[in-house]
Amino acid sequence: MHSAAVIALGLAVVGLPQSFRPEVLYPWLGTLSGVAVVALGAYLVWTRSSVWRHRHHHADGHDHPHRRDGHEHDGHRLVMHPDGRSSRKGILTLAFAGGLLPAPSALLAMLAAIQSHRVVYGLALVAAFSAGLAGALLGVGIGALRARDAIARRASDRVALALPLLSAVAIVIAGVAIAVRAASAL
């Protein structure tokens, strides 16, 4: 997804140079990236707080009927397991959303390659950049899962439920900071 976004944006910059000037485009991309991070963080706050409320409800002794397979199938359960872990669909949704906005440095590499008439080289650079980005995100994700499991083994249930919610709030705050910083350059 990231490669396709970089290529599409690169073609727009080359095809419509008056409309898509890179010096004007970068602040907009940064602002959109920040807004996307805020939206993702808000979604995570919503789903994590739903899990918190669900667990808190059960901890108080109140119960509600579950399906025979033991899983609920309302809106947040489509992307979340009952224990708060992301499902495959949720992970794929996050991966898709993460690739929607291209990194400005990848776009710059693509534009430089196009300008020097080395389009194939530019495509190779974008593919390498996207693969590196995917590898880095995969590494961070695996590290976060291992940290979550280590904390869950040692922490109380309340702390284990609160940490994902706190991290979602931190994502919202980071997204606001990214968007405000980029928007100040507009």
Domain ranges of the chain: 2-61+76-183
Distance, in Å, from the CA atom of 64 to the CA atom of 27, rounded to the nearest integer, reads 49
Question: What pLDDT is recorded for position 78?
Answer: 44
Residue 77: pLDDT band (50, 70, 90) is very low
Residue 89: pLDDT band (50, 70, 90) is low
* More reliable by pLDDT, 181 or 115: 181
Helix, strand, coil: what percent of the chain each, to 5? Answer: 75, 0, 20
Residue 159: pLDDT band (50, 70, 90) is confident
Torsion of CA 22, 25, 26, 32, to 10 degrees: -160
Question: Which of 1-15, 20-34, 87-101, 150-164 bottoms out in mean pLDDT, i.e. has the lowest?
Answer: 87-101
Residues 45-67 have a mean pLDDT of 65
Residue 52 pLDDT greater than 80, yes or no: no
Distance, in Å, from the CA atom of 175 to the CA atom of 45, rounded to the nearest integer, reads 13
